[in-house]
Structure 1
Amino acid sequence: MNNLRIAIPSNNPGGLDAGMGMHFGHCDIYTIVDIEGGAVKTVSTLENVPHVQGGCLAPVQHLASHNVKALLAGGMGMRPLMGFRQVGIDAYFAGSFATVGQAVQAFIDGKLPAFSTEFTCGGGK
């Protein structure tokens, strides 16, 4: 695995020990993890942007503007999934993990499926 920046919807305060924020657009904060050579290099956080009805693409653009290349999430609607594809961010389903760190390790180990329409929801929380 080459150098890669990933974002994980998280509960406050973020970080590897934080709980997963299961719906990407409604999370408190994003944990941003830079992976280098198959290992965690740096961990930081990024505030979410306001998510209003129909505004699901705002968080997509926000993450893209911070050079995120992959998203690990438990839920999202079809519209943002298409948005992530359009901006070149790969989305992976990580809904079965309690903490951000567990999801990140599963990603590094290649154990997360690509987010597909079977994982999408109708929106909301």
Structure 2
Amino acid sequence: MDSVLIAIPSQNPGGLDAGLGAHFGHCDLYTLVAVQGGSVRDVQVVPNVPHQQGGCMAPVQYLAGKGVQQLIAGGMGLRPLMGFKQVGIQVLHGGEARTVGEAVQAAIDGKLMQFQQMHTCGGGGGL
């Protein structure tokens, strides 16, 4: 299996034991997890970007610039979901995962489904 860089919206302080951020655009930070051959190789925590400038698309461009290939999210609006598709980042629905580590393991195991339009919300954090 090739190496893949996965971004997960996270609660403070980030890392594999952190709780999942409920909504991608309004999370405190992102945990970036490099996975290779079915194993976690590296974990980094990066702050979220201000939402005002560029709206929902600012985090999309920010994560694309960091080389992210997959994003695991519990909620997001349709506009950023389309933005991730445009920049080539695959979005997976976090499902039942409660922590970053659980979500990453579920992704490695192929248990997460592709994030669909039916999973989107109206934005603004209202799930």
With normalisation by structure 1, the TM-score equals 0.96
Aligned residues with identical type, % of pairs? 62
Report the Cα distance in structure 2 between the residues aligned to 1:59 and 1:32, rounded to whole angstroms: 13
- Residue in 2 that maps onto 1:70: 70
Aligned to 1:80, what secondary structure does the other structure show?
A: helix
1:110 aligns with 2:120: no
Unaligned runs of 5+ in 2: none
Report the Cα distance in structure 2 between the residues aligned to 1:30 and 1:88, rounded to whole angstroms: 18
Alignment RMSD: 1.2
CA apart distance, 1:97: 1.4
Aligned to 2:8, what secondary structure does the other structure show?
A: strand
Aligned to 1:41, what secondary structure does the other structure show?
A: strand
Letter in 2 for 1:68: V
Deviations 1:65-119 (A, max 9, x none): 0000000000000000000000000000004211000000000000000001010
- Residue in 2 that maps onto 1:50: 50
Structure 1 segments of 4+ aligned residues over 3 angstroms from their partners: none
CA apart distance, 1:54: 6.8
| Matching of residues 17-36 of structure 1 within 5 Å | 17-36=17-36
CA apart distance, 1:2: 1.3
1:83 aligns with 2:83: yes
- For the 8 Å contact 1:75–1:95, the answer to whether it is kept is no
CA apart distance, 1:53: 8.6
Deviations 1:21-54 (A, max 9, x none): 0111000000000001111000011110011397
- Residue in 1 that maps onto 2:41: 41
Letter in 1 for 2:65: S
- Residue in 2 that maps onto 1:12: 12
Report the Cα distance in structure 2 between the residues aligned to 1:2 and 1:82, rounded to whole angstroms: 25
Letter in 2 for 1:104: V
- Residue in 2 that maps onto 1:101: 101
With normalisation by structure 2, the TM-score equals 0.95
Report the Cα distance in structure 1 between the residues aligned to 2:40 and 2:56, rounded to whole angstroms: 28
Letter in 2 for 1:47: P
